[in-house]
Amino acid sequence: MAARSQRGDAADAALGRRSVLGLGAALTGSLALGRDAFAEQTDAAPPSDAPWSQSLGAGVVDRPYGRPAAFEAGVIRRNVPWLTAGTESSISFSPLQSLNGIITPNGLFFERYHAGRPDVDPARHRLMIHGMVERPLLLTMPDIMRFPSVSRIHFIECPANGGMEWRAAQLNSLQFTHGMVSCAEWTGVRLSTLIEEVGVRKEATWAMVEGADGAHMNRSLPLEKCLDDCLVVYAQNGEALRPEQGYPLRLVVPGWEGNVSIKWLRRIKLGDKPWFSREETAKYTDLMPDGTSRGFTWLIDAKSVITFPCPEKPLNGPGLYEIRGLAWTGNGKVTRVDVSVDGGANWTTAQLHAPVLSKALTRFSLPWRWDGKPALLESRVTDETGYVQPTITQLRAKRGTNSIYHNNAIQTWQVKADGSVFDVQLG
C-alpha cells in the first residue's frame, strides 16, 4: 500500500501541474485536444487514488433495479408550465442535449397525456377487437403475448414538437424546441396478425383505436396503415412498457404523429369511415391561412436537429469539435444530412452512423474546427423519398402561422464568440 500511495502522490503532483497549466491553454496537436504535463513521462504513475479507489464499494443487487448516478440528477424530463392548463393534459420533454446514440432510455422518453397517467392493472386489462369483423375477440394480456412477436426500433414524435416556434424563436433550449421525440425498441404483435385473427369484413376500411385512460383517447386510422406496419406493443427497450408509455399495452404507428399511437390500448373497432373523434376535429388539425383546416395529417415529415452544440451545451473555446445531431422521417430511412455553419450559405454532408433504420432516429456527425468567430449552425435532412427538410420561411409561406403542428423546419443555432449558443430564426 505504501508503494501505491507514493505513486498516487506522484500523480497528484502531476495533476496539480496540469490544472495550473489549464487544458484550454494547453491545446495543441492534430486533434487540438488536451495535452498535459505527462507528455515527458513515458512511464508515469497511474492517476491519484481517489477515495472510491481505496475502499470496497456497494454490493450487487444493492439496487435490484438500477438507477442513474447521483451526478446525473439534472438529466430529467421537464415540462413548460404555461403551455397547458394542467399537467394531466400536458407534455414532458426529453433531455436530447444529454442523450447519445439512437435509443432513448425508458426513464427519459417524453410523455404526453390527455387525462393523466393511469395505473392499469395488467390482470384486469382487456383488448377488444370488434366492429366490422368476422369473429370479435376480447383478449387478455397473456393471450396477446402468445401471438407471434416482433421487435422494431422506431421513433415517436408529437406533432406539436417545435410548435412553440411557429411564430418566433422563443425557447432557448434544445430540450424544449425538440424534446417531444424519442426512440425505442418496441416488442409486441403485428396489428395485422390480430386483424387476420378476427377476420375483416369486406366493407371495413377504417379502424378506431381507443385507450383506457380517463380521456378514452381515440383516433381513426385507415385499415391499410393498420395492416402495413402497426404494432400492438407490450415491451419497450426489453422490459414491460412504463406506465407513462401505455402499460400494459399500446399501439405503435411507425412514422405517424405520436397521438395515434394510442396508449393503454383497450379497443380496436373496424368500420367503413373515420370516426371524427374530438382528437381529430377539435385537436390535431392544422388551421391554414385561408381558413380551411388540414385534417388527418398523420405523417411525420423528415426533420433533423443539431444536438451538440446547443443552448444547453455551449462550446468551450476555439478548436476541433464534433457537431452531432439526430435526423428522422416518417417516410422510411434518412439518406443524407447536410450541415451548414454559416446559416445555410454553404453545406457539407455529414456522416450517418449505422444502423440507419426505417422510421427510427438516425445519428449524424461532422468534425468542425471552430475559429472562435460567431457562426450559424443548421442541419438539413433528405429522406429516401427525396423529400428535403424546409426552412421555417418556406413552411410559413405554405401553411401560415395559425397551426402549432408539424413544424419540421431547419433549426438554426447561433454560436457567439464566447461559445454560448442561441435559438434564432433567420429572416
Q: How far apart are CA 171 and CA 182, in angstroms?
A: 19
Note every long-range contact of 342-345, with CB atoms under 8 Å and residues 24 or more positions apart, other chains counting.
Answer: 342/375, 342/376, 343/376, 343/378, 343/412, 343/426, 344/376, 344/378, 344/380, 344/391, 344/410, 344/412, 344/426
Q: Report, in Å, the least distance between residue 257 CB and a copy of itself.
A: 18
Q: Report, in Å, the least distance between residue 98 CB and a copy of itself.
A: 7
Report CA-CA distances (Å) from 143 to 129, 263, 314.
13, 18, 51
User: Among 361, 346, 21, which Cα is nearest to 179's?
Assistant: 361
Q: Report, in Å, the least distance between residue 371 CB and a copy of itself.
A: 16
Q: Of 71 and 82, which has the nearer Cβ to a copy of itself?
A: 71
Q: Report, in Å, the least distance between residue 398 CB and a copy of itself.
A: 31
Q: Of 169 and 356, which has the nearer Cβ to a copy of itself?
A: 356
Which cell numbers hold the place of 183? 426512440
Q: Report, in Å, the least distance between residue 333 CB and a copy of itself.
A: 13
Which cell numbers hold the place of 223? 385499415
DSSP state of 72: G
Q: Of 128 and 169, which has the nearer Cβ to a copy of itself?
A: 128
Q: Of 16 and 289, which has the nearer Cβ to a copy of itself?
A: 16
Indicate the Cα dihedral angle 99, 100, 106, 109, nearest 10°. 50
Which residue type, as a one-letter code, is found at position 274? Answer: P
Q: Report, in Å, the least distance between residue 252 CB and a copy of itself.
A: 13
User: Among 327, 322, 323, which Cα is nearest to 337's?
Assistant: 327
Residue 355 preceded by cis peptide, ω within 30: yes
Q: How far apart are CA 115 and CA 86, in angstroms?
A: 10
Q: Of 213 and 301, which has the nearer Cβ to a copy of itself?
A: 213
Q: Report, in Å, the least distance between residue 385 CB and a copy of itself.
A: 22
Q: Of 215 and 409, which has the nearer Cβ to a copy of itself?
A: 215
Which cell numbers hold the place of 288? 391554414
Q: Of 307 and 335, which has the nearer Cβ to a copy of itself?
A: 307
Q: Of 154 and 399, which has the nearer Cβ to a copy of itself?
A: 154
Number of Cβ within 10 Å of residue 23's Cβ equals: 14
Q: Report, in Å, the least distance between residue 289 CB and a copy of itself.
A: 32
